[in-house]
Amino acid sequence: MENPDKTIELARMELANRLFFRLYQCTNMLHKTGTKAVEDQGLTTQQWAVLGALSRPKVRDGMSVGDLARYLMVSRQNLSGLISRMERAGHLAGTPDGQDRRSRRITITASGRGVWNNEAIPKIHEYYAQALADFSIGDITHTLHYLLKLLENMKRLDADGLAGNTEDGA
């Protein structure tokens, strides 16, 4: 007789594999279709995320590169090239941080805020409406709940340095 616990665990891992593969596909499609939605504004999804992060009222005075990287959950190295391109485009400005001269404080410029508010947001809202077609408010709420739950578990794995490790240390 087959062990029911082993059968359940195999089914769980098969579902987990499907879930994470779908997340991978969704991420790729977000970059592809999201960038297409804002390409007329000269933006990519990564730039969209940076402008969105810096346009929040509570960071009106900008963010350090490290804080922005942590907020977006990207490496400083990946973010620095993106910031440089956005500075050249006139969307962002970097100045020495008043509290830590070794750090730069990144702010959204008036031009960047104009592109964000007047051009990008209407396109992003249209994109959201199309991507979430046939989703009820409940569907969106539940999806957000589960993604946040998954994100918290993944952040814990990252902080503990446990990603890829098993209980027996293999």
Which residues does residue 63 pair with via DSSP β-bridges, in sequence order?
Answer: 106
Report the pLDDT value the prediction gives residue 169, as an integer from 0 to 100: 46
Q: What residue segments make up the domains of the chain, in order of their start?
A: 4-160
Distance CA 38, CA 42 (A): 7
The token pair that represents 43 in the structure block: 């933006």
Report the pLDDT value the prediction gives residue 10, as an integer from 0 to 100: 95
The backbone region for 42, taken as left when phi is positive above 0, alpha when psi lies in -120 to 50, beta otherwise, is left
Each residue's pLDDT, cut to its tens digit, for the chain (170 residues) gives 678 888 999 999 999 999 999 999 999 999 999 999 999 999 999 999 999 999 999 999 999 999 999 999 999 999 999 999 999 999 999 998 777 777 899 999 999 999 999 999 999 999 999 999 999 999 999 999 999 999 999 999 999 886 665 554 44
Distance CA 130, CA 63 (A): 32
Report the pLDDT value the prediction gives residue 167, as an integer from 0 to 100: 53
CATH number of 4-160: 1.10.10.10
- Quote the pTM value: 0.87
Which residues does residue 104 pair with via DSSP β-bridges, in sequence order?
Answer: 96
Report the pLDDT value the prediction gives residue 80, as an integer from 0 to 100: 93
